[in-house]
Amino acid sequence: MAACAVKPQRELTAAFFRIFHLQVSYSISLGLAALKKYLYPSLLLVFGLLAVAIYVFKKPAPRMPGLKERHSDLSVGKEWLNTKAAIQDLLARLRTDPNDQKSRLLLAQAYMQEARVTGDHPYYDGAAMQLVEEVLKAEPENFEALCCKASLSLTQHHFAQGLGLAQKAQKLNPRSGFVYGLLTDANVEMGHYDEAIRMADKMNQVRPDLAAYARVSYLREIHGDVPGAIEAMDYAVKAGVIGLEQTEWTRVALGHLYEVSGDTARARNNFLMAIAARPGYAYALAGLGRMAAAKKDYATAIKNYQQARAMVQDYAFTDELTDLYRLNGQPVEAEKMARESIAMLAGAAKEADENEQMGHYADRELAYAYLKTNELDKALEHAKIEYERRPDNIDVNETMAWVLYKRGDYAGAHKYMQVARRTGSKNPVLLCRAGLIMTKVGKDAEGQRLIENSLKTAPYLNPEVEAEGKALLASR
């Protein structure tokens, strides 16, 4: 029985005995003849009131979230057997001792990892948050629990909340590399890039490992140093254990950096290595899909994305299938995927609006999704919502710029694009969009140069932008 339920029940029981004592004394004074007439109904009433009070005051313990079965390739192999055994053991410990906060926190962390592996963030992130909140209720300054809550907030795109939680955790333990990783991520998402660099440096001073090198890589990429980003991500891959989800995610990220630099051969090799180390890995399958699309083999690209989508719940696969179906001359399937993407994102956004802590903020993604269905008013609405949350983030400013460009507001688009480019990123999609916008505000020479460089590097990364860029160059 939970401690919070014990006190009310004890008080009610004591009250019952006090009432019972008074009732019996009163009945004796009336005489034995009145006993049946007055005592029995009174006792029944008292027992009834006591039962109702116990029902009202006794709050059932929260239901312990369980583990879902995996499917397809995710359910094959020793890793799943080990994961399942470990989680079942933690659940058994908590059934034996509901106050075992260490096991509760380990279970939350296991569910957070399961969310990464399966893509089922709505279930597992919610389950992890429930467990973390229970730990923090018992131990408000539990450092690991605060870090877990910060990480969950970032995963759900509650970036400001995640930053606040990470800052609180850092005050409790300023020597943790993990907390500096959280602070790096949160500051990047909020657009505080100088502070993000400072936090990443601290992380590498405390504990240089896969996670630390990966963050250095991302910051270098943001600031236009793609060779340096590749170098750091290569360190990250080599620091990991082959086959683990974290390692192969990092290997796929390395492959994507090669894509951004235009080296499709090395990109493909990294995706293939990730598949070999972790069969059926969804993000590597998607990478191979992009490699097929680069060769205009859209049927193979669609097949790869369908396999990835069957493995992991990620709206990005559905979104990219929209483009691939259009390129492959399948407009009905493309429209179906576009509407499915919007439904997935809108459901998450609605949950986020109704729940301060959980529910994936997806307004930036929704803005792009609505552009694909030519719902420009809705695209602008969601772009603005995201901008209000993160006005300094370069990706959010790029989204605002592109939505305004699509609406014909070229001066407004140029204003936001200048902010989006302030870190010097050389992302080919960003540069092509910037070039298209420049040609609309009288900066033809610079705009054409950006478009040409982008199309030489990695035109297939965004088919819509590629088509607009090629059409503009052809008209000049």
The DSSP secondary structure of 193-228, one letter per residue, reads HHHHHHHHHHHHHH--SHHHHHHHHHHHHHTT-HHH
Do the domain assignments include residue 457? no
* Residue 402 located in a structural domain: no
Alpha-carbon separation of residue 407 from 168, 282, 338, 401, 469 (angstroms): 42, 35, 19, 10, 17
pLDDT, residue 352, reads: 66
Tokens of 43: 């006792």
Instruction: Indicate the number of domains in the chain.
Output: 1
23 part of a folded domain: no
Please check whether residue 237 lies inside any domain of the structure: yes
Q: Does residue 167 lie within any of the structural domains?
A: no
Range(s) of the domain holding residue 271: 208-279
Question: What does the alpha-carbon distance between residue 476 and residue 468 come to, in Å, rounded to a whole number?
Answer: 13
Q: For residue 354, what pLDDT is reported?
A: 67
Task: Tell me how far apart the terminal alpha carbons of the chain are, to the nearest angstrom.
Answer: 77
Residue 101: helix, strand or coil by DSSP?
helix
Nearest to residue 154, comparing CAs of 192, 117, 120, 181?
181
Q: How far is CA 49 from CA 6, 15, 73, 212, in A?
A: 18, 11, 56, 61
Q: What is the pLDDT of residue 9?
A: 40
Q: Is residue 263 domain-resident?
A: yes
Q: Tell me what pLDDT residue 32 has.
A: 40
Q: Is 345 exposed, middle or buried (0-12, 13-18, 19+ CB in 10 A)?
A: buried
Residue-wise pLDDT for 395-427, tens only, equals 999 999 999 999 999 999 999 999 999 999 999
Inter-residue contact 361 to 349 (CB < 8 Å): yes
pLDDT at 429: 97
- For the chain, residues with pLDDT lower than 50 are 1-36, 38-39, 43, 46, 52-60
In this prediction, residue 476 carries a pLDDT of 79
Residue 240 lies in a domain: yes
- CA-based nearest residue to 436, from 449, 426, 427, 420: 449
Q: Which residues are within 8 A (CB) of 321 and not within 5 positions of it... i.e. 6 or more apart? A: 302, 305, 306, 309, 333, 334, 337
CATH of the domain at 269: 1.25.40.10
Q: Are 179 and 144 in contact (CB under 8 A)?
A: no
pLDDT computed for residue 361 by the predictor:
87
Q: Does 221 map to a domain?
A: yes
Amino acid 74: pLDDT: 83
CA nearest neighbour of 256 among 247, 268, 246: 268
